[in-house]
Structure formats: C-alpha cells, structure tokens
Amino acid sequence: MMRALLCTIVACFALTLPLRSDVLLPGQRSIPHKLVILPSENWAGKHIVAGPMRGFGGAHVVEPGVPFEFSTKYGTRLYVVAQSEPIPQSLDEAWKAAHLSAEIPVTEISSVSVSSPVESVLTTLSIARWTDSNLELSVTSQVSRINRWVLGAMAGAAVLGLCGFALVLRRRRRAEQAARALGRPAAS
C-alpha cells in the first residue's frame, strides 16, 4: 500500500517537470540553449519560421531579436514565408521544398557537467546572405550565463584547498626543524 502511494506521488511530481527527450549521462545536467536572429531589412513582408526536420514539435514564427528554442537532435531548420501565407502546424515535405530555407550554423549545447557554473547559452545569429535562392546565417556571438554562486563556491573550495596545503607544509617544516634541534633524522 505504501509503495503504491509513493509511486503515485513520484509520478505526479514527475508530470510537473519539463520533459526532455534526451538522456543525460551521469554527472551531467540539462541547460537551455536559445537562438536570437538579429533584425534585417530583408524581413519586410516576410516571416522566418523555425520547424523540425524530423521528430515531434510544430513550426513557430521567429521574431527578430526574440530568443527561441531549437534542437540539433530534431534538426531545426529556418524557412522564409510571406506574412500573408498561413503557417501549418506540421510542415510536410512539399511545403518545405516550396520555401527558401537555411540550416542553423551552430550545434545545440543541451547539457554541461554538474560542477559547471554555466546556467544557459544564448547564441546570436545574423543574416549573412538573403537572396531569392539562398539564405545563409552566421554566428555573431555566443554568451553563456554563469551562476555566480557556483563559481564562488568553486573559488572558495580552491582557496580552502590551498590554505590546507600551506598548513600541511608549515607543520611538516616545523616537525623537521624540531627533529634537527633534537639531533634526530627528519621523518619522510
């Protein structure tokens, strides 16, 4: 009876957590990695739509200067669409082939080491070339947001380690001096 109650509580708690389809290796933790596309004069009368190449998820309109999620696992691709055209929830192969598209020139960073102070990553993209037949993006910057508490704890642990090492060396030096004063060989 208690086991069933515990399983129900754990299942209810697990349903409230954000779902990630990737399996994390031991010692790793998940972090969000988002993209931002800088505004361009080419956006006039057009939308850029982000959609997966495979797997789950629907298409969504990318606003210039607003962060959005992407996936290397599902192969997010960007498509140019006229503002007057409706955007389907699911992009079929015929729709994809009929629209100008571009690959995202960066790989998603979805996890880091548990001890890493990195909390999130934001990559800024700019439009390198936009013609009637070609859309190319380039990476402008990539910024990692750092958790200062983790960084401070790591620095504090390093300082304590150095102080402990200095204390051990000091005691050893005093023991050697005391042994010499008594005429005994120093212990190694």
List b or e across 48-84, with b for residues whose CB sees 16 or more CB atoms inside 10 angstroms. bbbbbeeeebebeebeeeebbebbeebebbbbbbeee
**pLDDT score of 178:** 85
Q: How do beta strands 76-82 and 46-52 pair?
A: antiparallel
Residues 82 and 109 reside in one and the same domain: yes
Q: Please report the pLDDT score of residue 140 as a whole number.
A: 92
Report residue 131 CA to chain centroid gap: 31
- 152 plus 142 within the same structural domain: no
> What is the per-residue pLDDT across 114-168, written as a single tens digit (0 to 9) for each?
888 899 999 999 988 888 788 888 999 999 888 777 667 777 888 888 888 889 9
**Could you report the per-residue pLDDT of 77-94, keeping only the tens digit for each?**
999 988 889 888 788 888
CB 135 within 8 A of CB 102: yes
pLDDT at 58: 78
pTM: 0.64
Do the domain assignments include residue 13?
Answer: no
Q: What is the pLDDT of residues 30-75, one digit of tens each?
A: 999 999 999 888 777 888 888 888 876 678 889 989 999 998 888 8
Q: Is the same domain home to 157 and 141?
A: no
Judge if 180 and 158 occupy the same domain: yes
Domain encompassing residue 71: 27-146
Residue-level pLDDT at 44: 79
**Single-letter amino acid, residue 26:** P
Q: Which residue has 């086991």 as its token pair?
A: 3
3-state SS track over 135-182? EEEEEEEEEEEECHHHHHHHHHHHHHHHHHHHHHHHHHHHHHHHHHHC
- Is 8 within the bounds of a domain? no
> Is position 50 within any domain?
yes
Residues 96 and 64 in one domain: yes
Distance CA 63, CA 50 (A): 10
Residues 140 and 49 in one domain: yes
Number of domains observed in the structure of the chain: 2
**What integer pLDDT is reported at residue 37 of this predicted model?**
92
Q: Distance between CA atoms of 47 and 61, rounded to whole angstroms?
A: 7
Same domain, residue pair 118 and 186: no
Supply the pLDDT for residue 21: 47
100 and 180, same structural domain?
Answer: no
Residue 5 pLDDT level (bands cut at 50, 70, 90): low
Residues 123 and 183 reside in one and the same domain = no
**Three-state secondary structure call for residue 12:** helix
